[in-house]
């Protein structure tokens, strides 16, 4: 028995528990004997997981319970050897173990997901949209500085270089239909930010944040 939790999920203001937490709780209540959870539930993390440790958990038998549950968080980070092992394990039809794969980004594991789907029950949760400079430009056009700054933060966390972010903004500006005077003013903002980043006087993130706030402050949206 395999459950696939697909997508990202977070707690809401009305509850400290995410939808994934609630769904996992229901599965535990259905399959685990009361007061035996500590013996029959393993929560593993794909980033530090070794194949032999996974094999050990999937071979262990339930303790005074009909089932055991093995949860793998961040399963999109599993290495190919583990993918292959899990698919073969699924084919064996083990009835004592419930394997729960918590996978935020299924696109990173398209082949694995395709191979495992026939043995799985899939629960889909809210997936975070991938961000890029187009998303950033759009949020600036709509004059949403808070959202634009969040996108900038995610771009930097994803490893996008500041100069490439500036390049994306410059490209969008060149494709826009602005008056010459307005376009010239925005180009100056970009050039000034590029110079500040290259001189290293301030941290790139601070310079980009200042730039985005300036661009969002314009009265006319980019079109």
177-195: per-residue pLDDT in tens? 778 888 888 889 999 999 9
221: in domain:
no
Q: Is the pLDDT of residue 49 over 90?
A: yes
Residues 6+ apart with CB under 8 A from 90: 2, 99, 116, 119, 120
In a domain, 223, yes or no: no
Tell whether 17 and 101 lie within a shared domain.
yes
Residues 12 and 109 reside in one and the same domain: yes
The pLDDT of residue 218 is 67
**Same domain assignment for residues 50 and 105:** yes
What is each CA distance from 223 to 107, 145, 179, 216, in whole angstroms? Answer: 32, 17, 11, 13
Does the pLDDT of residue 147 top 60, yes or no? yes
Range with the poorest average pLDDT among 101-110, 158-167, 211-220 = 211-220
To which residue do tokens 């941290």 refer? 203
How far apart CA 43 and CA 57 sit, in angstroms, is: 10
Task: Give one word for 127, left, alpha or beta, with left for phi > 0 and alpha for psi -120 to 50.
Answer: beta
pTM to 2 decimals?
A: 0.56
In terms of domains, do 39 and 114 share one?
Answer: yes
Encode 165-193: b = buried (16+ Cβ within 10 Å), e = exposed: bbebbbebbeeeebeeeeeeebeebbeeb
Number of domains, the chain:
2
Residue 8 covered by a domain: yes
Considering the chain, what is the average pLDDT of its residues? 86
CA atoms within 13 A on the CB side of 129: 8
Does 111 share its domain with 161? no
- Quick one: average pLDDT of 57-78? 93
For residue 126, count other CB atoms closer than 10 A to its CB.
Answer: 11
**Which structural domain, as residue segments, surrounds residue 164?**
133-216
**Rounded CA separation 35/64 (Å):** 10
Q: For residues 96-124, give the mean pLDDT.
A: 89
In a domain, 45, yes or no: yes
- Which residue among 99, 124, 149 closes a domain? 124
What the block records as the tokens of 36 is 């035996």
- Asked which of 79, 99, 124 is the last residue of a domain, the reply is 124
Instruction: Give domain status of residue 9, yes or no.
Output: yes
User: Does 177 fall in a domain?
Assistant: yes
Residues 49 and 138 in one domain: no
* Pair (198, 166) in one structural domain: yes
Q: Please report, for the domain that includes residue 12, its CATH number.
A: 3.40.50.300
Same domain, 120 and 137: no
Q: Are 87 and 11 in contact (CB under 8 A)?
A: no
By the 8 A CB rule, do 76 and 106 touch? Answer: yes
**13 and 119 assigned to the same domain:** yes
Q: Are 97 and 35 found together in one domain? A: yes
With cut-offs at 50, 70 and 90, classify the pLDDT of residue 130.
low
Same domain (yes/no): 31, 66: yes
| Domain match, 106 and 169 both | no
Domain assignment present for residue 222? The answer is no
Q: List the 120-124 sheet strands across, edge first.
A: 41-45, 68-73, 97-103, 2-6, 120-124
């Amino acid at each position: 028995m395999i459950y696939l939790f697909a997508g990202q999920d977070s707690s809401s203001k009305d509850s400290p528990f995410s939808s994934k937490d609630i769904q996992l709780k229901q599965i535990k209540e259905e399959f685990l004997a009361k007061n035996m959870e500590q013996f029959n539930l393993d929560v593993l993390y794909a980033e530090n997981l070794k194949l032999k440790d996974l094999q050990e958990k999937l071979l262990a038998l339930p303790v005074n319970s009909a089932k055991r549950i093995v949860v793998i968080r961040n399963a999109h980070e599993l290495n190919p050897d583990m993918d292959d092992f899990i698919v073969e394990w699924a084919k064996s039809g083990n009835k004592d173990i419930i394997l729960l794969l918590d996978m935020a980004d299924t696109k990173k594991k398209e082949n694995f997901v395709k191979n495992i789907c026939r043995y799985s029950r899939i629960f889909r949760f809210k997936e975070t949209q991938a961000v890029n400079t187009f998303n950033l430009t759009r949020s600036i056009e709509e004059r949403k500085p808070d959202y634009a700054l969040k996108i900038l933060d995610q771009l930097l966390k994803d490893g996008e270089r500041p100069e490439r972010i500036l390049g994306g903004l410059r490209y969008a500006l060149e494709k826009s239909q602005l008056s010459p005077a307005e376009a010239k003013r925005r180009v100056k903002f970009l050039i000034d930010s590029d110079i500040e980043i290259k001189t290293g006087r301030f941290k790139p993130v601070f310079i980009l944040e200042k730039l985005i706030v300036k661009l969002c402050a314009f009265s006319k949206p980019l079109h």
